[in-house]
């Protein structure tokens, strides 16, 4: 087995690539006072659909209490608003405001400019395909292992 195929080397490469990519994004966002976490939230909401807090937390890679504080700040800044989910009134959906949309578009343009100037950015489609396959495989493993951890259902008597 070549050293590039060892899981620890792949994991190290993924971690290093994530840190370096986040640094590039952070440098662009720092100019406007936006955090990477806020940018991740806005990137999900930029599609125009409302999203539940649980989906936003997963997308933004934040624990729920941290997301709540961030969402409160985005609301205070006039970038996000929250509404009750019409399909499930117990849940809240978040949306970008028109001001949030404008902010997102400016930030997205700057991030894209930086990204396309990086070496290897022409391989985005291939990289995205490989990462999506990796994520799907890891999620499948996680789901199957969590299924194994669940106790079997007791037989019905009667």
Summarize the confidence of residues 50-69 as an average pLDDT.
93
Residue in 66, 58, 50 with CA at minimum distance from that of residue 139: 58
Summarize the confidence of residues 105-132 as an average pLDDT.
86
Dihedral of CA 7/13/14/15: which sign? positive
Local structure of 82: helix, strand or coil: strand
Whether 153 has a pLDDT exceeding 60, the answer reads: no
Summarize the confidence of residues 115-138 as an average pLDDT.
84
What is the pLDDT confidence band of residue 118, given thresholds at 50, 70 and 90? confident
What is the pLDDT confidence band of residue 155, given thresholds at 50, 70 and 90? low
Summarize the confidence of residues 119-131 as an average pLDDT.
82
What is the pLDDT confidence band of residue 158, given thresholds at 50, 70 and 90? very low
Q: Give pTM, 2 decimals.
A: 0.76
| Digit-coded pLDDT (tens) for 66-91 | 999 999 999 999 999 999 988 888 89
| Digit-coded pLDDT (tens) for 12-40 | 888 998 898 889 899 999 988 999 999 99
> Within 1-157, where are the H helices?
7-30, 36-45, 53-60, 64-76, 98-116, 124-149
Local structure of 83: helix, strand or coil: strand
Mean pLDDT for the chain? 86
What is the pLDDT confidence band of residue 154, given thresholds at 50, 70 and 90? low
Query: What are phi and psi for residue 79, nearest 5 degrees?
Result: -95, -25
Residue in 66, 75, 78, 16 with CA at minimum distance from that of residue 37: 66
104: CB partners within 8 A, 6+ apart: 42, 43, 45, 46, 96
């Amino acid at each position: 087995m070549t050293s590039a195929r060892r899981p620890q080397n792949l994991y190290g490469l993924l971690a290093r690539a994530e840190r370096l990519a986040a640094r590039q994004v952070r440098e662009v966002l720092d100019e406007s006072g936006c955090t990477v976490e806020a940018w991740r939230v806005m990137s999900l909401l930029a599609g125009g659909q409302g999203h539940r807090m649980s989906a936003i937390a997963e997308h933004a890679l934040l624990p729920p209490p941290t997301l709540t504080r961030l969402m409160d700040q985005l609301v205070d800044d006039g970038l996000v608003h929250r509404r009750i989910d019409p399909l499930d009134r117990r849940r809240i959906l978040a949306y970008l405001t028109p001001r949030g949309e404008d902010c997102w578009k400016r930030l997205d343009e700057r991030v894209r400019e930086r990204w396309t100037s990086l070496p290897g950015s022409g391989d985005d489609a291939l990289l995205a395909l490989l990462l999506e396959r990796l994520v799907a495989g890891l999620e499948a493993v996680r789901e199957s292992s969590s299924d194994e951890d669940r106790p079997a259902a007791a037989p019905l008597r009667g």
